[in-house]
Amino acid sequence: MDYTSYYKQVRERLDHLIRTSSRDDYASISALIGKNHAYIQQFIKRGVPKCLNQEDLNTILEHFDLPADYFGSPEDFPTPGQASPHFPADFQPSDYILVNVYDVQAAAGSGAFAENNDVHNRLAFRKSWIRDSSNASEEDLAVITVSGDSMAPTLVDGDHILVDMTEKKIRNDGIYVLRNDDMLLVKRISLNPVTGLCSIKSDNPHYESWSGCEPESLDILGRVIWMGRKI
């Protein structure tokens, strides 16, 4: 564990508490824990002592009515060169790509959803996994949120889906995102190899499906290659 980084965080957070307090200063917090008036200022400014003992930290937390984890823990700072406990031992940032997450409501207007600037977040995907599922580059991938239950139980309201925007033609059966006027639709599309026509289906039988559609008439934005769901 990198204690140096942990001690630095404690000093910074304590300094912020004191500077933003209307009733406290370095001397009053020193007195709170039974130390001389310069004790806290020396700790924050000079790192002497290296860190306060847990009893003193608990007294300060109680004084400011803060949760026990406010100052963090040494376990939050892995030793340099070692993997964080929150990541796999072989974690390398270069092994991952960050995919833009777009709001589906922002996507419902004209133009492809990746053309607007409403990026709400980014999700990390391992490059090797992406290569097994798609040849798309980072710029040709997008995550959007499913709205409604027309694809239930496969996809439900609030699910996140990863869309491969290079798949704008129906080469294989699958779930696609398509635009109809000013609405985005997430539907299962299958291609009839004999007639060359396709069917657009809702997995939820209570919603309408269409058959005998010309593939060229569809405004396909991409194929869904992954979904994520909150428990």
Mean pLDDT, the chain cut into blocks of 10 residues (231 residues total): 84 91 93 95 91 93 92 77 56 81 54 56 87 88 89 90 92 89 87 92 91 92 91 77
Provide the pLDDT for residue 154: 93
pTM higher than the cut 0.85 = no
Whether residues 66 and 143 fall in one domain? no
* Shared domain check, 107 and 25: no
Provide the CATH number for the domain around residue 160.
2.10.109.10
pLDDT at residue 107 in the model: 42
Place of tokens 């300060």: 60
State whether 107 and 27 are in the same domain: no
Same domain, yes or no, for 124 and 211? Answer: yes
Please check whether residues 113 and 178 belong to one and the same domain. yes
Q: Are residues 179 and 131 in the same domain?
A: yes
74: Cβ contacts below 8 Å, ≥ 6 apart: 1, 2, 3, 6
Is there a single domain that holds both residue 117 and residue 221?
yes
Same domain, 103 and 141: yes
Q: Among residues 76, 108, 127, which one ends one of the domains?
A: 76
Q: Please, which residues bridge with residue 180 across strands? A: 183
Take residue 182 and report the two structure tokens written for it.
């000013």
129 found inside a domain: yes
Sequence-distant (≥ 6) Cβ neighbours of residue 18 within 8 angstroms = 24, 25, 26, 29, 40, 44
Q: And the tokens for 108?
A: 């419902």
Instruction: Give yes or no: residues 112 and 49 share one domain.
Output: no
Domain shared by 195 and 142, yes or no: yes
Three-state DSSP at 139 gives helix
Residue 105 has a pLDDT of 47
pLDDT of residue 90: 62
In a domain, 150, yes or no: yes
- Quick one: CA torsion of 68, 69, 71, 76, rounded to 10 degrees? 150
Q: In whole angstroms, give the CA distance from residue 123 to residue 146.
A: 16
Q: What is the DSSP letter of 187?
A: E
Examine residue 87 and state whether it is found in any structural domain, yes or no: no
| Residue numbers of the domain that contains 126 | 93-228
Tell me how far apart the alpha carbons of residues 208 and 84 are, in angstroms, rounded to a whole number.
49
Does residue 82 lie within any of the structural domains?
Answer: no
As for how many domains the chain has, the answer is 2
Among 24, 44, 76, the domain boundary falls at 76
Give the pLDDT confidence score for residue 108 in this predicted structure. 41
pLDDT on residue 36? 95
Strand ranges for the chain from DSSP E:
96-102, 119-126, 141-145, 160-164, 174-180, 183-191, 198-201, 210-213, 219-228
The sign of the torsion formed by the CA atoms of 146, 152, 155, 158 equals positive
Q: Which helix (H) or strand (E) covers residue 44, if one does?
A: helix 39-46
